[in-house]
Structures are given as C-alpha cells and as structure tokens.
Amino acid sequence: MNQSAYMPYMIKNTLIAGLFCLLISFITAAHANPVILVMGDSLSAEYGITRGTGWVKLLEDQLKKQSSPWTIFNASISGETTAGGATRLPALLESKRPGIVLLELGANDALRGLSIEQTQQNLRKMILMCKQSGSKVLLFGMQIPPNYGQSYTSQFKDLYPMLAKQEGVTLLPFFMAGIVNNKSLFQADNIHPNEAAQIILFKNVWGSMAPYQSLLQRSQQVN
C-alpha cells in the first residue's frame, strides 16, 4: 500500500479510536454517583475536635442547605500517607463511584521525611485512578514549615500546582490558608487546627469548588 492510499486508512482509524475513548469516558462519567469522596488525613478526620464539627460536616451542611442531591463519604484517616491513600482508593472508587474526589494528602509524607518523588508518584497515581473512573478531582495544596529545609519545603509546595497543571485537575492552592499564622486556631500540639478553624477550612474548600457548582445542583445518577 503506497503512502497516499495509507493516509486515509490511518486517519479513519485514528478518528474511530478517538470516538471510542470519548464514548468510554462519557459512559464512565454517566455512571458516577452524586457522591463526594474525601480522601484525607487527620486534617479531614476531625482529629482532636468534637465529632460533627469538622470542615467536612460543614460542607455536608452546605450541600443540604442548597438542597443538593450530593452526599459526602469521608474516607479520611488520621496519619494517612499518600501511599496508604493510593492503596485504599481503588476499592473506594469501585464501591462508591464518586462523581468528585477531594484529595487532601501529603502532609504526613513530609512529616515522615519521605521523598518528594514518592509523594508525587502516589498523588499522580490517585489522580489518574479518579480520572479513569470518571471522577472529577479537587487537589488540596499543602505546605510545611521552613524548618524542614528550604529546598524540601519549596519542592513540596510546588508539587501540588505542578501536578494539577500536568493532570488538568482543579487545585485548592493552600488548604490551610488563613490559619497557619494564627496560633489561636490550633490545638495544643500546634499542628492540628481546632474547632474554630474549621469554618475557615470549609470556606477554603467551598471557594475552590466553584467550578463544580452547577454539577452540585444536579444528580449524575443513571437509573
């Protein structure tokens, strides 16, 4: 087959392959549930505060106030790392089929001195899992104190916007914005936000969910 005859054949196959991928993506998204899955650590698991006072509950209350059909499944675990999240995520995606995943992980990786490359690899893996399942992702940007070293601190901070840009997902620039410089908003350990800080965390998350507001007003459930 000469080149001129071969080109239409290649173009046809490419178009078919593209349409097939688009169809698979549409079918996957259509079968997502109106569920928001929260994958986080102690910052999202109400560590050290009264149950029902955390930012996740405030988000749930906001959705109810708007009569949104969406519900929340909080799969956050205190002490969770990105490796742990990547291990647990497949089963959660399969059982809950969430339409949106709020990904708040990485801080414990830094506290344990894990490599930036390892954290990046795990976060990317989770983002790809979510996208392949038809879930939209809101990635929570995290930062660590400067005492971890300027290079590590800077690389860790830059990791989140870089991943969000590369993978085309929505970014909450800094989850702890408005809190880190106010000691009165922390528990005695100076690590975990107290109850008074939860409204700020909620507002940070809610503001970054602006791209999903129209989606939150309708259900993706297919009967």
- Picking from 76, 173, 163, 160, the residue whose alpha carbon sits closest to that of residue 128 is 163
Q: Are 107 and 148 in contact (CB under 8 A)?
A: no
Distances, alpha carbon 160 to alpha carbons 5, 104, 105, 120, 143, in Å: 47, 11, 10, 8, 9
Question: Which residues are designated catalytic?
Answer: 42, 189, 192
45, 78, 147, 150 from 48: Cα distances, Å: 9, 10, 24, 30
| Residue at token pair 């196959």 | 13
